Chains A and B, each alone.
Chain A
Amino acid sequence: MATTTQNQVRVLAAPRPSVARPARGGRHRSGRVMLYVVLTILGVIAALPFVWMILSSFKPEAEVRAIPPTFWPQEGTLENYRKILNDTELPLALFYRNSAFVAVMHVISTLFTGSLLGYIFAKFEFRSRAPLFWFILATMMIPPQVTMLPGYLILLQLNLLNNLWGLIVPSFIDAFAVFVMRQFILSIPNDEIWSARVDGASEWRIYRSIVLPQLRAPLATLGMLTFMFSWNAYLWPLIVLTEQNKRTLPIILTWYSTHHSAQNNLIMAASVLMVIPVLIIFALSQKWIVRGLTLTGGR
């Protein structure tokens, strides 16, 4: 008997096509070109402030004070950065640590409480569920200006003023995170949870092993956003932290800029050090954040 391959019948692929001629546009060509031109111009305008900031950070003081100002650095220098990094009055590492500590704790706490409460509101029934949930949503609407005064007084009573924990504790529960987590958890099939219960898993176990793993996307997104906003926060840290060495970066940056008010080269360099790292982190994890933001529509 002939071999297997010989018993197969292989039909030739479809007849080889002739080389296609290039497409003829014409119709909407001019419109598309205009579109790109406009977008590019707008993009340049949008990027301009950052570019100016970075370029200025490499200019010596004399050049920054020139009238009229130059755009490209005539004399590039790293002196500004050197000065800042060696400035004894500006222990950058300390402030980075403060900001990072607050931001990380903030992220952990809001993700934890958000997912847990979101789970409760999504999958459990109890009489006060609806009013409680609406209440949490309503708190999102209160302007911080209202709550910051009593907030200050509360921290005063709790002796948490001038303490990094004073920043972290009041934001343990983030209404927005609860809202978003609940949305996502709603789409987890109830059957999965019930079958785990039948299998004998404790409620905490279910939360840890079934709910949490499925929340990777919103957790990552919320985490990044929370980190950014905590890192950039100004008003509340300004109120709570009164001692210099407890302060976070945005406050330090302001302090530095008023301290060296005539030396814009230094100020720009300091701004770069504070603003750019966050932007780089974002650019690298870009896909996640934008997708998550659009899904949650958050502000």
Chain B
Amino acid sequence: MASETIRLERRRRLFDGREGAQKRFVFAVMSPALIFMAVFMVLPIVWAFALSFFDFSPRRTGSPILGLGADNPFVGLEHYRQMTDFSSDATLNVRQFHTAVKVTLLFAFLVVPLNLLITLPLAAMIESVRDRVRPLFRTIFFLPVLASSVGVAIIWSFILHPQNGLLNGLITKITGRTTIVAWLDNPDLVYFGIPVALLMVIAAYLWQDIGYNMVIFIAALQAIPRSVTDAARVDGASAWQIFRHITLPLLRPTILLASILTMISAFQVFDLFQVMTEGRPDDQTLAMSLNIYRNAFRYQQMGWAAAMSVVLFLIVFVISIAQARLLRTRWEY
């Protein structure tokens, strides 16, 4: 039929014509890319959500469909329902879930402001230093970023060692009194309601992470034209007034970006918690990422772990949006 031949011809023309080579190129690149993304990006996300509705263990064989069903029964919203069980006789894993959420939120909401309060002034200080000395300072503060977090965890564990650690050693030397404090292992050590062990993990994480934002802020500071700060100086502003009225407002987009990224990272910290404390003492440092890992790979409770990871994702998502809204600003000037 005439119409059929027309249709066929049109199809053949897909890769012909002026832009044929380009289309072929895009097709050749995007096809494998899309397949890859489907398998390694889309599938996991979908699968993770699906998993959260099942009681799943990798040891058991389920139905051929992603291993779900059969020996891995469908439980619907059971996991999520359990999460809302705040009674005192809730099962251990539920109580641990609540603890983990608390620990993670506490961690993130302490880390982000502390980080910004340290990195911003630090960047400003380094920026105002003479050109030749600047790379030296920048390197010193940036090096911890490159150290493996496992290495960081181990070093800090040793620093905080009750008998042989640097911290207690310094305190002993300064106060003259032999100090053997178990910073990471004493559940009774609490400071203003925050477990000291958690504070120590925070300290280690801050130490490692400061270089990142510092470098970002230095770049943002350098992007402010010299003539603008000069103009402010001639206009009569003191150093503090320049910082408050000129520098800070111009840095707001960067600060917003940095705080969102820092927040997201803080929620995902795993290595430090696993290697430094493993959740001890008394689950005071049981972060959600650690809890999820343990439930998935040690207790083989993947459905439950998946549900928790979904909750983690939602928390991160909501907080990021809230942050963006709260500190909304114009991005370019």
Contacts and interface: CB of A to CB of B under 8 A. Distances in A.
The answer to whether A and B touch directly, with their CB atoms under 8 angstroms apart, is yes
Interface in A113-167: 113, 116-117, 120, 124, 126, 132, 135-136, 139, 141-154, 156
B166 A48 contact: yes
Nearest to B261: A299
Contact of B138 (A66, A67, A142, A290): A290
Interface residues of A, number: 85
A67 B151 CA distance: 24
B142 interface: yes
Contacts of A148: 293, 296
Chain B CB within 10 A, most for which of A144, A228, A251, A297: A297
B302 A149 contact: yes
Contact of A49 (B159, B257, B310): B159
B151 A150 contact: no
Contact of A271 (B144, B151, B271, B293): B151
B120 to A, nearest CB: 14
A15 B169 CA distance: 66
B313 A146 contact: yes
Interface stretch (B91-99, B105-113, B210-218): B210-218
Interface residues of B, number: 95
Determine the main DSSP class of A at the interface with B. helix
Interface string A41-81: 01100111110110010000000111111110000000000
Contact of B48 (A35, A146, A203, A279): A146
Given A42-B122, A203-B21, A264 B44 contact: no
A46 B144 contact: yes
B58 A286 contact: no
B271 to A, nearest CB: 5
B164 A67 contact: yes
A170 interface: yes
A278 interface: yes
A257 interface: yes
A145 B305 CA distance: 9
Interface string A237-263: 001000000000111011001000000
Given A50-B143, A204-B25, A145 B289 contact: yes
A150 B168 contact: no
13 contacts: A50-B143, A69-B165, A139-B41, A141-B317, A143-B289, A149-B47, A150-B44, A173-B41, A234-B270, A253-B151, A254-B275, A279-B143, A286-B135
The 8 closest A-B pairs by CB, nearest first: A294-B219, A150-B47, A232-B148, A203-B25, A150-B44, A69-B169, A147-B44, A250-B150
Interface of B: 21-26, 29-30, 33-34, 36-37, 39-41, 43-45, 47-48, 51, 58, 66-67, 122, 125-126, 128-129, 135, 137-144, 146-152, 154-156, 158-159, 161, 163-166, 168-169, 172-173, 178, 180, 207, 210, 212, 215-216, 218-219, 257, 261-262, 264-265, 267-268, 270-271, 274-275, 288-289, 292-293, 296-297, 302, 305-306, 309-310, 312-313, 316-317, 320
